[in-house]
């Protein structure tokens, strides 16, 4: 399966997957134009990744029997074939997940660069992409009285996906009653265009929902455009941008939208931090530090997980029931008595568990307010 872009549904499905009789091969390819602009550089990176994957597949210490290693080598071949033929134009990164025993082969185009990396485990290695869906999906509708353009994507990358154009007549100076009738006709045509633009946005929303909406329109059209929005869209409206509707480039649109997006994100983080502070102070509905967060995750009480982007910590995981522990002093799962697996950095398991519980994931950058809580905290459901 090929996912054009990373979505929460994709990430949730991958995070939920566990393979008991075999392994999952996860491969991340960095396509940052700054370092991999040429075909030769990309080809070299692909060869290195595939060679590393092949080495891991043939390693007799990887815990697999003969059939397991054979299946993993088959996955390596499938990844090699895909990367050698894939259209990588426009992507800043690519993730590939393969497991023959699980019937899995999924590729995801990424809007942000990722380090080149190969991992083999019982589940897909999703930590590098988990933070990419922490930012919600955005849409932007630019419209004047005759043209409209629709953009969708993430906070970091909007893509133009739709265009509505109508033949709306311009003004003339005939004067008198004829002028008034003509102007009403022009106004009606413009309203029809704005209504059609809002309907097209709604159609796209129903096909691929987004979380937040920005509008851009000249002063004489903005109020009318906003009034035409369906309630589904109105409740997602986050602000207005000032742009030339017809002549702005995608880069212009991204630059104009960024302040509104960042402002909304910071305001939302402020609310989460305020709820966290209140919950921790009251001794309920707030968990601070790794041990507290893991306890809440084990009890399925996490509503929102807040993590500093630089956070890392060792921990343990029970492969039978999924129990997570801080540190590595414990060797036996307190929930079912199974042997615990050490995790040098347990954040991948933390993120996976939060996603499996439909918890919100907020990765905080340059927010010192999370420091007193140890770099990781949670707002709790109960």
User: Is the CA virtual torsion 298, 303, 306, 309 positive or negative?
Assistant: positive
Range(s) of the chain covered by CATH 3.30.420.60: 138-263
Sign of CA dihedral 68, 69, 74, 76: positive
CATH of domain 2-133: 3.30.960.10
Q: Which of 211, 26, 32 is nearest to 120 (CA)?
A: 26
- DSSP lists the bridge partners of residue 107 as 2, 96
**Per-residue model confidence (pLDDT) at position 328:** 92
**CB distance 337 to 254 below 8 Å:** no
Q: In what order do the strands lie in the sheet with 360-364?
A: 286-288, 376-380, 302-308, 360-364
- CATH 3.30.1330.30 segments of the chain: 284-380
Q: How many CB atoms lie within 10 A of CB 223?
A: 10
**Burial label, 317 (beta-carbon count in 10 A; 0-12, 13-18, 19+):** buried
Q: Which homologous superfamily is 138-263 in? A: eRF1 domain 2 (3.30.420.60)
Q: Which CATH architecture has domain 284-380?
A: 2-Layer Sandwich (3.30)
* Prediction pTM value: 0.70
pLDDT in tens, 337-354: 999 999 999 998 898 889
Alpha carbon distance 224, 354 (integer Å): 41
pLDDT at 174: 52
What is the residue-averaged pLDDT of the chain? 89
Rounded Cα gap, residues 160 and 142, in angstroms: 10
Query: Where, residue-wise, is CATH 3.30.960.10 in the chain?
Result: 2-133
Dihedral angle over CA of 163, 164, 168, 170, nearest 10 = -20
Q: What are phi and psi of 378, to 5 degrees?
A: -150, 140
| pLDDT in the model for residue 170 | 54
pLDDT for position 42: 86
Phi-psi region of 358 (alpha: psi -120 to 50; beta: other; left: phi over 0): left
User: How far apart, in whole angstroms, are the C-alpha atoms of residue 179 and residue 146?
Assistant: 20
CA distances from 75 to 43, 51, 90, 97, 183 (A): 19, 13, 25, 9, 66
Is residue 217 classed as helix, strand or coil in its secondary structure? coil
Q: Nearest-5° angle of CA 185, CA 190, CA 191?
A: 95
Please tell me the predicted confidence (pLDDT) of residue 189.
Answer: 82
> Along the 382 residues of the chain, how does pLDDT read in single tens digits?
555 567 777 888 898 898 988 999 999 999 988 777 677 888 899 999 999 999 999 887 778 888 999 999 999 999 999 999 988 887 889 999 999 999 999 999 887 889 999 999 999 998 888 767 655 789 999 999 889 999 998 887 888 999 998 875 555 455 544 454 545 545 678 888 999 999 999 999 998 889 999 999 999 899 999 999 999 999 999 999 999 999 999 999 999 999 999 999 999 999 999 999 999 999 889 999 999 999 999 999 999 999 998 999 999 999 889 999 999 999 999 999 999 999 999 998 898 889 888 898 898 988 999 999 999 999 999 9
Report pLDDT for 327. 93
């Amino acid at each position: 399966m090929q996912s054009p872009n990373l979505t929460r549904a994709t990430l949730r499905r991958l995070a939920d997957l566990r393979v008991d009789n075999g392994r999952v091969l996860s491969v991340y390819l960095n396509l940052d134009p700054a370092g991999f602009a040429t075909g030769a550089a990309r080809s070299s990176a692909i060869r290195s990744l595939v060679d590393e994957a092949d080495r891991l597949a043939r390693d007799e210490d990887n815990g697999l029997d003969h059939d397991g290693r054979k299946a993993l080598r088959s996955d390596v071949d499938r990844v090699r074939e895909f990367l050698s033929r894939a259209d990588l134009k426009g992507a800043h990164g690519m993730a590939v997940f393969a497991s023959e025993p699980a019937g899995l082969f999924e590729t995801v185009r990424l809007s942000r660069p990722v380090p080149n990396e190969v991992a083999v485990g019982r589940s897909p290695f999703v930590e590098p992409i988990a933070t990419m869906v922490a930012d919600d999906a955005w849409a932007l509708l630019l419209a004047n009285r005759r043209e409209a353009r629709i953009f969708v994507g993430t906070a970091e990358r909007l893509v133009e996906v739709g265009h509505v154009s109508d033949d709306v007549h311009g003004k003339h100076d005939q004067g008198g009653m004829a002028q008034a009738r003509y102007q009403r006709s022009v106004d009606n045509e413009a309203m029809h265009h704005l209504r059609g633009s809002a309907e097209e946005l709604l159609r796209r929303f129903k096909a691929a929902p987004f979380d937040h909406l920005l509008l851009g329109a000249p002063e004489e059209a903005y109020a009318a455009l906003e009034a035409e929005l369906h309630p589904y869209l109105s409740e997602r409206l986050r602000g207005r941008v000032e742009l030339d509707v017809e002549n702005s480039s995608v880069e212009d649109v991204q630059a104009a939208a960024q302040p509104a997006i960042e402002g909304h994100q910071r305001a939302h983080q402020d609310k989460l931090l305020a709820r966290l502070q209140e919950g921790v102070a009251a001794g309920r509905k707030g968990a601070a530090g790794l041990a507290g967060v893991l306890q809440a995750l084990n009890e399925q009480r996490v509503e929102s997980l807040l993590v500093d982007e630089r956070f890392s910590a060792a921990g343990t995981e029970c492969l039978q029931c999924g129990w997570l522990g801080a540190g590595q002093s414990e060797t036996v799962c307190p929930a079912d008595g199974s042997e615990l697996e050490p995790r040098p950095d347990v954040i991948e398991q933390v993120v996976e568990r939060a996603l499996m519980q439909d918890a919100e994931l907020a990765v905080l950058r340059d927010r010192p307010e999370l420091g007193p809580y140890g770099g990781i905290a949670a707002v709790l459901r109960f």
